[in-house]
């Protein structure tokens, strides 16, 4: 198969950040002073630190590196989980802290695509794993008992420069088989640091109509930090001849996705509609980020203006839907209040006067005449609350 498919992974996972040890807090000044000096020179260009004096201040909570009026302040926060570097010219940087055996170690992080080599990615992609290919909530439920997972193997082939974009691109080979070991899908994926991914299907079982979507899901779920839900509308990979064409089509897919969100939100229960509208507004942030990231290829696209309209529309729908949720609560409160009144009437039956009908010698209590009123009001209010919750329109 010579067809090429492209997809976009909006946010790269924290696992794609490599940590680098800088120094131990208790060893500065001391054994790690030279490590700190080297870091300040190499990463921040602070050349004067070579002959600078290093001292602890504020009861050991701050490190000061200084020469005359020039200084670098390194402060440990109250929780002792981050340090802040205050460099000359108002530059400020923050790094995580690792607590060990009475030691505080400082690390920095950098993006894997920018600074790593091929071997670093082998920590991210498992050689073999069992994966549930479906996001459907029923499949997730039944997997607990019947094990519906597929066998998936990843092979990191190369980390090379892309001919089209010039960026570093990770080349993956992915194979999927069922529980019996029968091969279902085999394909290659090329992912760059911007999240744009290209897929090529090498083999597909005739039963799978959209193998590119399965391949995209397997890559997306490892590289993407977002937690997917069964009601999500994942952006599908699209067929294109080049990256430029793919970027334009992906932007168009976002427009179709927003239209679908509006359609389904109007037909869902209130709570689910609120969740979907909130999710749709988050997707608009992704769409704007995509346009900003590939602005050069998408310059002049009229779709960007429509994202603002969608955002405003989703916000109005969200406000109206939220108002209905308050109405439903009010109806429920009124309904249960009237139910309590009805129950109170029955409880204090003996306190009300009664009439005696001589013909049939039946005792008719006055409260029995009043009892249907709050009961009917209770039924009406609960019905209105359920109706308000059932539709978002």
The answer to whether the predicted template modeling score (pTM) of the entire model surpasses 0.75 is no
Q: What is the pLDDT along the chain (393 residues), one digit of tens a residue?
A: 578 899 988 766 666 666 778 889 999 999 999 999 988 888 888 889 988 999 999 888 899 999 988 899 999 888 888 888 898 777 788 777 777 666 788 887 766 776 667 777 777 787 778 777 765 655 555 556 666 788 888 888 888 777 666 677 889 999 998 877 888 899 999 998 788 899 999 988 877 778 898 899 888 888 876 544 445 577 889 999 888 899 889 888 888 887 877 776 666 555 566 667 777 777 777 887 787 778 777 766 677 667 777 777 767 666 666 655 556 566 667 767 777 776 666 666 555 555 444 444 445 555 555 656 666 777 766 666 665 555 444
Q: What are phi and psi of 70, to 5 degrees?
A: -85, 135
Peptide bond just before 27 cis, omega within 30 deg: no
Distances (CA, A) of 138 to 132, 177, 229, 265, 327: 12, 21, 12, 21, 32
| Residue in the structure block whose two tokens are 């946010």 | 11
**Count of CA atoms in the C-beta half-sphere (13 A) of 276:** 25
What does the angle CA 147 – CA 151 – CA 156 come to, to the nearest 5 degrees? Answer: 145
Contacts of 326 (CB under 8 A, 6+ apart): none
Say how far apart CA 281 and CA 154 lie, in whole Å. Answer: 33
Burial class (CB in 10 A: 0-12, 13-18, 19+), 106: buried
**Which are the contacts of 129, defined by CB distance < 8 A and separation ≥ 6?**
151, 152, 153, 154
3-state secondary structure of 211: helix
Yes or no: say if 187 and 200 are a contact pair by the CB < 8 Å rule: yes
């Amino acid at each position: 198969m010579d067809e090429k498919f492209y997809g976009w992974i909006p946010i790269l996972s924290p696992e794609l950040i490599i940590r680098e040890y800088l120094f131990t807090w208790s060893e500065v000044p001391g054994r790690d002073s030279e490590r700190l000096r080297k870091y300040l020179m190499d990463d921040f260009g602070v050349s004067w630190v070579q002959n600078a004096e290093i001292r602890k201040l504020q009861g050991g909570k701050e490190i000061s590196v200084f020469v005359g009026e020039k200084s670098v302040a390194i402060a440990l926060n109250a929780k002792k989980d981050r340090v802040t570097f205050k460099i000359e010219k108002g530059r400020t940087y923050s790094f995580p802290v690792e607590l060990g055996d009475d030691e505080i170690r400082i690390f920095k992080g950098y993006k894997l695509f920018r600074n790593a080599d091929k071997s670093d990615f082998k920590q991210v992609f498992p050689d073999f794993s069992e994966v549930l290919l479906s996001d459907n909530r029923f499949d997730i439920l039944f997997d607990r008992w019947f094990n519906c997972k597929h066998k998936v193997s990843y092979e990191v082939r190369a980390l090379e420069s892309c001919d089209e974009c010039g960026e570093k691109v990770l080349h993956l080979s992915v194979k999927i088989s069922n529980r019996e070991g029968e091969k279902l899908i085999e394909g290659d994926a090329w992912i760059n640091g911007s999240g744009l991914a290209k897929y090529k299907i090498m083999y597909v079982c005739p039963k799978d109509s959209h193998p590119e979507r399965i391949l995209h899901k397997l890559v997306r779920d490892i590289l993407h930090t977002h937690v997917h839900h069964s009601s999500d509308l994942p952006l599908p990979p699209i067929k294109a001849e080049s990256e430029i064409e793919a970027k334009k089509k992906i932007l168009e897919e976002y427009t179709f996705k927003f239209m679908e969100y509006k359609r389904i939100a109007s037909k869902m229960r209130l709570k689910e509609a609120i969740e979907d509208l909130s999710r749709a507004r988050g997707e608009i942030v992704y769409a704007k980020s995509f346009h900003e990231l590939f602005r050069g290829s998408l310059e002049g696209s009229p779709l960007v203006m429509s994202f603002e309209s969608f955002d405003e529309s989703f916000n109005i729908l969200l406000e109206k839907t939220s108002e209905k949720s308050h109405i439903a609560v009010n109806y429920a409160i009124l309904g249960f209040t009237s139910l309590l009144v009805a129950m109170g009437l029955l409880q204090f039956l003996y306190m009300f006067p009664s009439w005696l009908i001589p013909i049939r010698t039946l005792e008719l209590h006055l409260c029995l005449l009043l009892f249907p009123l709050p009961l009917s009001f209770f039924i009406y209010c609960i019905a209105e609350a359920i109706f308000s919750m059932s539709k978002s329109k």
